[in-house]
Amino acid sequence: MKKLNIVLFEPEIAANVGAIMRTCALVNAKLHLIEPFGFIFDKRNFARTSANNFEGCEYIKYDDLSSFFEIVNPKNMYLLTRYGKKPLSDFNFKSIDDEVYLFFGKESTGLPIDLLKSNKSLCFRFPMVDNGRSLNIANCVGIALYEVLRQWDYLDLSKVEVEKGENYLD
């Protein structure tokens, strides 16, 4: 069964995690948070940036990366790194009828180099100007989620406005 999973390795900024929780809640993606965090994990730190979607986000915390891999065996994983050599759009998600795990590293240093080196063929980057270092992690998660969702024809997500009706602009 197709399911999107976001893996955040040692996130450092609560506001980024809150924004990512909001995005995950709205696209039915599961969030995996790998400790240690650079902030106190408390609902109050996420209330504003998650737009109160804290409860709507399915998430699980892990003590460290080893614990994550002991509990989860991610068959289809892809890792964001500025050292990746191809964009996420080069990967074919249409043929995957299973869970997909998108990995994102801590804001200051990214994912562990040994994880990247041992999974080079699964590394991706977002094309940008050649002297640019990185995009904001919350933006990266949103871009990556929607690329996979686009290839999956957005699964069971609504493609029309529901509250005011799909013909609101007519």
Cα–Cα distances in angstroms (integers) from residue 66 to residues 21, 63, 115, 167, in the given order? 23, 8, 11, 50
pLDDT in tens, 37-92: 999 888 777 666 655 666 788 999 999 999 999 999 999 999 999 999 999 999 99
pLDDT at 167 over 80: yes
Residue 105 among known ligand-binding residues: yes
Residue 80 among known ligand-binding residues: yes
Looking at residue 23, its pLDDT comes to 94
Residue 118 among known ligand-binding residues: no
Looking at residue 87, its pLDDT comes to 97
Looking at residue 166, its pLDDT comes to 92
pLDDT at 32 over 60: yes
Q: Average of pLDDT values for 128-141?
A: 91
Q: What is the DSSP code string of 54-108?
A: TTTS-EEEESSHHHHHHH---SSEEEE-TT-SS-GGGS--TT--SEEEEEE-BTT
Looking at residue 132, its pLDDT comes to 81
* Alpha carbon distance 10, 36 (integer Å): 5
What are the φ/ψ torsions at residue 150 (nearest 5 degrees)?
-60, -45
* Alpha carbon distance 33, 7 (integer Å): 6
Cα-Cα end-to-end distance for the chain: 37
- Ordered by where they begin, the domains of the chain are 3-151 (3.40.1280.10)
pLDDT in tens, 83-126: 999 999 999 999 999 999 999 999 999 999 999 999 999 999 99
